[in-house]
Structure formats: structure tokens, C-alpha cells
Amino acid sequence: MMQNYEDFWYQSGDGLRLYARDYPCGDNTIDHPQTLLCMHGLTRNSADFAELADYLCQRYRVLSVDQRGRGRSEYDSVVANYTPLTYVQDMFTLLDQLDLAEVILVGTSLGGLMSFLMSAMQPKRISAMIINDIGPEVDSRGLERIKSYVGKSAPVSSWDDAVARAREIAEVAFPDFSDEQWLDFTHGIYREEDG
């Protein structure tokens, strides 16, 4: 599949190198297309929005981010910085660096929480919000499930092992995935590193 986005790198307020996918609007008749800012869940990354961005970039500019420590963004050695407020500040830094006065937020889970915070902190910058997998009440069973696997998995030695691990964690949410879909899903959450 051809890449239809540009890699965008920016620096956080505390000096980390952060990453976003920038899908330009494909409709040249729109002078100033609206921008959607897509923010992923706790253990996810910008690849989660690839199919949605492919569709929406026909009429909108779409930014899909990797929060610090996720995807291609740099890891933060200060564990206390892994909080929604820090991520929100990173998002405002991104918007400032791109000179974006107003965006539509698309937030999944943690990204939905960030959407709430962003709209409370700078309401004039948020023209709309689309959120999923989050609500006014968070089910404690869901939190316990997440706590059972976040930060506890050992490195894997092959893509087959990675797929097996991904299925073990997420099959409850995606029971009808084919083997090909599991491989695509896994490539979105794991990355190969040298050595």
C-alpha cells in the first residue's frame, strides 16, 4: 500500500522528539480544509487511524499522533510525565508548531480523555469532538484488564510470537479477526528494533 501521509516530527516543550502522520487533504478545491487531530488509546499509536485517515483525507487534513513513548515518538525517561495532562500539552505544542488555530478532535479511550481536557483548557481551539471507548464512567473491570498487561510483557523474538501475544490480549475485543487482520494489527503495535 502506498503511503499517503507525510512524516511530521516536532519537539515537545521538554525537548522530546515526537511524531505524527500528516495526511494532507486530497480535495484541491477546498482552500482551508478543517484539520482532524486523531489521538490513540493508552497502548496504541498513530497507525490505529490509518484506514479512517485514508477515507477522511479526501475532505480533511488528518493528523494522527504517536504520544510520547509510543510508536515512533521518543521515550521519556521521566515516568511521571506519562500522564494525560502532559500528552495534552504535547498536543497543544503540535498545534502551535503547525499554526493551527482550530481542530476537530478524534479520541479513542485515552485520546477521548485528552479530548475532554483539551476542550476544557482551550475551548476556542476545538470545533468538535468525536470520542469512542470512553465515557463519564469507567468500568473497573476494564481497568483491571488493562492493568493486567500494560508494562508487563517481555520482548518477543518473532512476528509469530508478537501476533500470539496481541491475540492473547485483544482477541476479546476483536473475536472475528482473520489471521491477516491479526498480522496487520500486530504490525501497528510492535516495531522491529536493531539488535
Name the stretches of the chain with pLDDT < 50: none
C-alpha grid cell, residue 22? 500528516
C-alpha grid cell, residue 30? 477546498
> In the prediction, which pLDDT does 31 show?
86
What is the pTM (predicted TM-score) of this model?
Answer: 0.79
C-alpha grid cell, residue 64? 494522527
Residue type, 24: P
For residues 151 and 133, give the distance between their C-alpha atoms in angstroms, rounded to a whole number. 21
> In the prediction, which pLDDT does 186 show?
80
> In the prediction, which pLDDT does 165 show?
83
Domain boundaries, the chain: 6-139, 153-195
Dihedral over alpha carbons 10, 13, 17, 18 (to 10 degrees): -60
C-alpha grid cell, residue 154? 517481555
Direct distance between the N- and C-terminal alpha carbons of the chain, in angstroms, rounded to an integer: 27
Superfamily of the domain at 6-139: Alpha/Beta hydrolase fold, catalytic domain (3.40.50.1820)
> In the prediction, which pLDDT does 116 show?
95
> In the prediction, which pLDDT does 63 show?
99
CA distance readout (Å), 39 to 29, 62, 112, 128, 192: 27, 11, 8, 14, 23
For residues 179 and 38, give the distance between their C-alpha atoms in angstroms, rounded to a whole number. 27
Residue-wise pLDDT for 9-58, tens only, equals: 999 999 999 999 999 998 888 888 999 999 999 989 999 999 999 999 99
For residues 36 and 53, give the distance between their C-alpha atoms in angstroms, rounded to a whole number. 9
Q: Does residue 25 contact residue 64 with C-beta atoms inside 8 Å? A: no
Assign 78 to helix, strand or coil. coil
